[in-house]
Each structure stands twice: as C-alpha cells, then as structure tokens.
Amino acid sequence: MKPGEPTKIISLDNLSIGYRSDRKTSKIVKSEISASAHSGELVALIGENGIGKSTLLKTIAGFQQPIQGELRICGKQIVSYTEKELALLMSFVSTEIIRVSNLTVFDLVSLGRFPHTNWFGKLVDQDRTLIEEAIKAVGLSGFEYRMIDHLSDGERQKVMIARTLAQDTQLIILDEPTAYLDLSNKYEIVHLLHRLAHEKGKTILFSTHDLTTAIAESDKLWLMLNDSVEQGAPEDLILNKNLNRLFQNNTLYFDQQLGDFRIPRIKGKEAFLVGEGLALAWTIKALARNGFTQAENAENALIHITVNYPTWSVCTLSHEEEFDSLFSLCRYLNTI
Amino acid sequence: MGKIELNTNTYATREFRVLLLFSLLVPLFFLLDLLIGSYYISAAEILKAIFRSENSDSQVLLIINNFRIPKAITAILTGAALSVAGLQMQTVFRNPLAGPDILGVSSGASLGVALLVLGTGGLLGGTMVTYASSWGIVAAAWVGSGLILLLIMLIATKVKEIMTILILGILISSGIFSIVNILQYFSDESTLKSFVIWTMGSLGSVTNLQLAVLLPSVLIGILIAFLSSKFLDAFLLGENYAQTMGMNIRFARMLVFLSTAILAGSITAFCGPIGFIGIAVPHIARMSLRTAKHSLLIPCSILIGALMMLISDIFSQLPGSEKTLPINSVTALLGIPIVIWIIIKNKNNNRL
C-alpha cells in the first residue's frame, strides 16, 4: 500500500452486531454502527464496559456473523471470504494470555506464516526472513530462542504483534492489547502500533480503556456510546464534546484541557497561591485533590500559600507554618 | 545474526541428539524384552532366531515368533499409539492432564467392545478369534472412543476450566464403567470370563492374527497425526487464533479426533485399558526436546512411548520369576509419579 493514497479497508454501514441463538432469534448488542478505517491508520475503539466493543471486534475478525447491515473488508462483504482468504487480509490478537511452555519466540511468530506455508508448515527462506523482520520490527531481536513463558507481559504482547506482522496482513485487530500492562509498556505498545500503521501502511484497529494513550497516538477513534457510534480524530471528538458523552451515567467528567477523565471534586475551600514553575503546578494539583481551588485575589482568601520549593509556607488568620513536602502541607490543610 | 545462527545450530543438535538417543534405546530394550520371560532363552539363541539361522531350536523359534516378538511389537505399538493420542488431546484441549484414559476415551472404547462382545456372545479370548472378528472389535472400539471424544469436546466448549473438564471426564468414565458392569451382570459365564480377562489388560494376549489388524490401525492413526502436525501447532494458541490464521477448525479437529479415536481405540480393543502412558509421555517429550513443534514432538513421543512400554513389560515379567504382573499396574506405577510432578509444577498456571 503506497502512502499518500489511503484505501478503505474496513467499512461498517448500518451494522447490527450480536449473538444469533438460532436462525430466527438473535440478541442484538448494538445496532446502526457506521464507521470506517483506511490504510495507514491506527484506530482506537473506545467505550464503556459491556457496550459491545468485544462483540464488534469479534464480528470484524469473523468469529461472529453480522446480524444486519454491511461489513466490508477491503471492499468485499466479510461473509463472502473463506477462512483462508480472510487470514491473508486480517490477523488478530485476543485478550487471552498465551501460556505454553517450551514454545520459543521464533516458533510462535512463525505460526503467523500458517496461511502462507504448505500442508506441513515448512518454512522456506522467504518465510524465515519475514519472521526475523517481524521480530526486529517489535524490537525483540536477540529474543528469538527465548521461551515465551519466560517473557514479561509487555514482551509477550510484542511477540503476539510480531506474529501478526509475520502473517503479513493489511489489517490487524487487537482486543485490549494493553489490558495487563504497566504504564510504560502501555505507551510503548500503543506507540509501536502507531509506528507500524504509519511506516508499513497497515490498518490497525484496537480496543482500549486507556484514553490518554489512545488520544495521543491514534489517528481515529471509534467511540461507542449508548445511543450512537461516533468516529473522528481524537481532537475532533474532544472539540465537538462527543468524548464527554462517554461516561454519561457516571460521576466522571472529561477535562477538555487535560484530555482525560476526572472525578469532579466538591469545591468549597479557597487558597491564594504565590509561586512559579513546576512546583506551583503540582501544588495546584495537590490542593485540588484536597478540595481547594485557587483564589482569584489575595484579599478574599483566608489561606495564603507561598511556594518556594523545596519549602511551602502557609499563612492563615491565626497561624503561619512552614512545610518541607506537599504531603505534610496537605495533611495540615485538612486539619483546618 | 551470527548469534542467532549459532542458537539454531545448538537447538537443532539438541533435537537430533534426543531423537538419536531414543531411537537407539528402543531396539536395545526391544531385544531385552525378548530376552525376558518365564522360559529361559539365551541372548545368542534369540539373535539366531531373529536372523533365521538354520540351526536354531524349533521350540525356541516357536516361543520367540509366536509369543515374545508379537508381545514386544505390541508393547511398542501400545506405547507409540497411546502417547501420540495423549499428545494430540493435550494440545487440542490445551490441558496438560488430558489423556485417553483420564477423559474417558479408553472407557468409551471399552463400552464399544463390551457391547459387541457381550452382545454377540464372546468374540474375544474364545476359540473363534478370526481376522474379521478382530476388525469388528477394533471398529467397535473406534466408534466408542470417537463418541466420547465428541461428548468431551461439547463439554469443553461450555466449560473452560481445566479441572472441571477433568472431573467431568472422570465422571463420564465411571458412568461408562457402570454401564459395562450392568452389561456383564446380564451376560453368561463364559462371555463374562473372556471380557473380564480383557479388562485386566495384557500385551501377551495379542496374537499374530490380531497384530495384523493392530499394526495397520496404529500406523494409520500415526500417519493422520503426522498430517495434522501443522494444525496441532496452531491449536496451541487456541481455536480463535487458529481460525484467524486461516485454519478450518472443524476439519482440523476432525482429523485429530479421528487419529486419537483410532489410536486409543485400537490399543484398548486388544490390550485392554492401559493408563498413564498417554498423559506422561508427551510431557517427557516436551521436556527433553524443549520444543512445542508437533513435527518433532510426534516422533519423540512415539519413541519414548515405545520405550516406556517395553520397560513396563520387562518389569511386569518380574525378571527371575515365572509370575507376570498386570501391565496396567506397572504403567500406573511408572506414570503416576510423572503426573503428580506435572500437577505440582503447574499448580499456579495451567499450561502445556
């Protein structure tokens, strides 16, 4: 796929997804889904638990049939593909952690060559080259003969991504690839997906609960809301306030400045702050957590705080105290 | 890159060395198995008999050709077949404790044989053992074990927890044994006797005639297993992954079940239920090869299984005495420590 001329890879048109219990009855999880994804795009699927993210991914990956509407992969209806044809276009990473001992990184990644090799799965030179390249692309060169049960969660997830690269498909679908990972691994994996989408022109669709990384790295969000599915660049969805609707039944609100969800604090107490730089910024955050807002002017505020890192001085009507950490400052403020 | 190639080489030689070692041990223990029995025959006489030397004793020839060689070949076939059946079941169910005996596949074969034998009035052990009746017994065992495999598969789609599936498998086995017991209750004395002898399990009761049925059956089962080795590799990641890699799940599962039913069914039909080889051997194969690739695990399981059964048979002869122990008990005593070790090793993570 040449960069610069994106092709439509996934196209959902008025799609209903759900489970067919028998020929006539079916339980619809979500209907009227219209969205698309092009080559070279990293698309994040966002939505509350139970809204149907997994069902949608399973439908696109071909595990479940669409109930109604159209689901096209590379221009053709998904139901018209055989399993083998689909495997040449699309690869998949599930939420399940693979636990197999005595399986090397190389052997697991080489399973990605499944649809390309002969009946016995014999690897030819071209297969080996592609496998080595896939391992290199996820940054695991030198790990080829490690056993996968000796890898960290982040490394194992990279191996699963390398397997999709070895499968050499235009479309890659991942169901919550960052679910079990720590913060730095979350960033690393999503950034890796971003890089693969942009450098190799792949279409990568992943579901996630981690908005910060999704907003920072994805080209497009598919936002599953209670009454509709919205798509667009993350920034578009912030500006048109669609992201605010994500947790509408909840106490969470979306902070459009910070680009993340926050729990609203009960505001009541005010403090006037003097100071500058990073120390001031973090002091404001610490005070916000404890229910203090920043006073506009000095006269009305009962509490004055001067930030002079590494010390903080607090001046109230009756006292003046000095602290050497935000922790002790906050503890003092809570006693007032 | 140099480092990687070095690694490939060391691993290739490890696999080569392991397979070479076992392929040398199997003929060695085969000869040892021929040597041991209630009638003393010297090693020189055995070698003479094998290589069809002119001046060998006709009685010795008779014992070796009609008893010891069929028994040793049966041991090899039993070990190979049960191990390959166990390996495939462990992979498809993604369960380190799956095996033909544990999940009720062997008892399914027993039921098939029981229905045939007790229903038709004794095809086994009697004087009427024919080539055709041997095929009948094998086919009944295949159908029995195949049906139980399908039942377990149905359960496994509903229940994911490994231990629950094992407990259900044990319950199914018990249920089948109860049915077999009821069948025995209603059958006449001579039929009953031949059936009870069969359930004790024995390698020695397999005649050359039955071997002519057992050998091709096991070879076909193993051939199908070899043909499914790529599918088995994909099954390691689970059916969802296998499907998105383009595997036709139903076809692959059918091949694997066909092979398992033929292998476990044939052995159970002629040698009776033999336990623990099917669970233990695949683990020894994985451990010694340090690989999960079935194209290597299948030959390795065949060799280790054959070796284990030859050793079990030698033990069961109680060298130096004229008594023979039931082969069932010997394989259980050899296999159970290995199974206990697997359970302890996997206490916290259910993996293959």
- For B244, the closest of A87, A103, A107 (CB atoms) is A87
Cα separation of B256 and B230, whole Å? 11
Mean pLDDT of chain A: 89
Strand ranges of the sheet holding A303-308, from the earlier edge strand across to the other edge = A292-294, A269-274, A303-308, A311-315, A320-323
What domains, with CATH codes, occur in chain A? 8-97+169-260 (3.40.50.300), 269-335 (3.40.50.800)
Please list, in sequence order, all residues whose beta carbon lies within 8 angstroms of the beta carbon of residue B128, skipping any fewer than 6 positions away.
Answer: B122
- Does B195 have pLDDT greater than 90? no
- CB-count exposure of residue B189 (10 Å: 0-12, 13-18, 19+): exposed
Tracing tokens 């910060």 back to the chain, one arrives at A212
Give me the residues of A, 170-189, that contact B with CB < 8 A. none
pLDDT band at B191; cut points 50, 70, 90: confident
Give residue-wise pLDDT tens across range B129-173.
Answer: 566 677 888 888 899 999 998 888 888 777 767 678 778 888 898
- A291-300 pLDDT per residue, tens: 888 888 877 7
Beta pairing partners, A203: A171
Residue of B92, B241, B255, B290 to mutate, testing the A interface (most A Cβ within 10 Å of its Cβ):
B241
Report the length, in residues, of chain A.
Answer: 336
Q: What are residue B143's phi and psi, to 5 degrees?
A: -65, -45
Average pLDDT on B267-289 reads 91
Cα atoms in the Cβ-side hemisphere of radius 13 Å centred on A210: 23
| H helix or E strand, kind and range, residue B196 | helix B189-200
Interface test with A, best of B91, B226, B228, B245 (most A CBs within 10 A): B245
Tell me: pLDDT of A101 over 90.
no
- B chain contacts of residue A61, beta-carbon cutoff 8 Å: 244
β-strand pairing of A253-255 with A260-262 = antiparallel
Q: What is the pLDDT of residues A197-217, one digit of tens each?
A: 999 999 999 999 988 899 999
Q: A114–B230: do the CB atoms touch at under 8 Å? A: yes
Neighbours of A111 (CB within 10 A): 24
**Quick count: other Cβ atoms within 10 Å of Cβ A331?**
12
- Residue B47 phi, psi dihedral angles, 5° rounding: -60, -40
- Kindly list the residues from chain B whose CB atom is less than 8 angstroms away from the CB atom of residue A140: none
**pLDDT tens-digit map of B53-92:** 666 678 888 888 888 999 999 999 999 999 999 999 999 8
pLDDT at A2 over 50: no
Of A62, A112, A119, the CB nearest to B230: A119
Statement: residue B208 has pLDDT above 60:
yes
Nearest to A111 among B237, B349, B350 (CB): B237
What does the pLDDT read at residue B149?
86
CATH number, span B17-345: 1.10.3470.10
Domain extents for chain B? 17-345
Q: Is the pLDDT of residue B125 over 60?
A: no
pLDDT of residue A1: 45
Is the pLDDT assigned to residue B280 strictly greater than 90?
yes
Under the banding of pLDDT at 50, 70 and 90, the label for residue B118 is confident
ipTM: 0.83
Tell whether B320 is within 8 A of chain A (Cβ).
Answer: no
Phi/psi at A226 (nearest 5 deg)?
-60, -40
What sign does the CA torsion over A119, A121, A125, A129 have?
positive
